[in-house]
C-alpha cells in the first residue's frame, strides 16, 4: 500500500442520508441511502468495576479497548430503485469486511455490519443493522 502526505485543507462535507462504502475504494463502491430512518450511537469504555473490602464505592479498571456502535435504520421505498438498493444492502451485510459508514450528522465509522434485518412495510422495506467499529487505520 502506498500513501502520500499533502498540505491540510479546510472544507465541509455535506451529506444526506447514509453512505456506505469500501474504505479502500470509496469512489467505486459508495452507495447513498437517502431515507435514513434513524441513527443512534453508543460508546462503551468497557470498565470493570469491583467493590473491595473497606471501600464504599467500587474501583473501575479500564483497559485499552472501547466498544463503539452505530444503530442504523434505512428505509427503502417501493419503486424503480427498490430492488437494487436492497440488493446493495444485502451485499454489504454479507461482505465480512470493514465498511465505512458515514451519515448526515457527521458520523464516520469504520466497522462491520451486525444484526442485519429487513422488515416489510406498506411503503417498501425497512432495513436495520448495527455498525460495530473496528480498529482501522485510514491511509490517505
b/e map 89-118, b = 16+ CB within 10 Å: beebbeeeebbbbbbeeeeebbbbbeeeeb
The answer to the question of residue 67 lying near another protein (CB under 8 A) is no
Nearest CB to another protein, comparing residues 8 and 54: 54
Look up residue 6 and give its DSSP letter.
-
Nearest CB to another protein, comparing residues 43 and 59: 59
* Phi, psi for 27 (deg, rounded to 5): -60, -40
Site string for another protein, 16-55 (x = CB under 8 A): -------------------------------xxxxxxxxx
What's the chain's Rg over C-alpha atoms? 19
The answer to the question of residue 57 lying near another protein (CB under 8 A) is yes
* Count of residues near another protein by CB under 8 A: 16
Residue from the set 7, 27, 28, 64 that interacts with another protein by CB under 8 A: 64
Positions touching another protein (CB under 8 A) are 47-55, 57, 59-64
Amino acid at each position: 500500500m502506498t500513501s502520500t502526505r499533502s498540505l491540510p485543507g479546510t472544507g465541509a462535507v455535506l451529506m444526506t442520508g447514509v453512505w456506505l462504502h469500501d474504505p479502500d475504494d470509496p469512489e467505486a463502491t459508495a452507495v447513498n441511502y437517502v431515507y435514513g430512518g434513524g441513527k443512534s450511537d453508543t460508546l462503551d469504555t468497557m470498565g470493570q468495576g469491583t467493590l473491595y473490602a473497606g471501600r464504599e464505592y467500587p474501583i473501575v479498571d479500564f483497559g485499552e479497548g472501547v466498544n463503539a456502535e452505530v444503530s442504523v435504520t434505512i428505509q427503502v421505498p417501493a419503486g424503480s430503485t427498490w430492488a437494487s438498493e436492497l440488493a446493495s444492502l444485502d451485499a454489504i451485510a454479507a461482505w465480512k469486511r470493514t465498511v465505512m459508514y458515514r451519515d448526515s450528522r457527521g458520523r464516520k465509522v469504520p466497522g462491520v455490519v451486525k444484526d442485519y434485518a429487513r422488515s416489510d412495510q406498506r411503503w417498501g422495506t425497512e432495513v436495520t443493522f448495527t455498525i460495530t467499529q473496528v480498529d482501522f487505520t485510514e491511509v490517505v
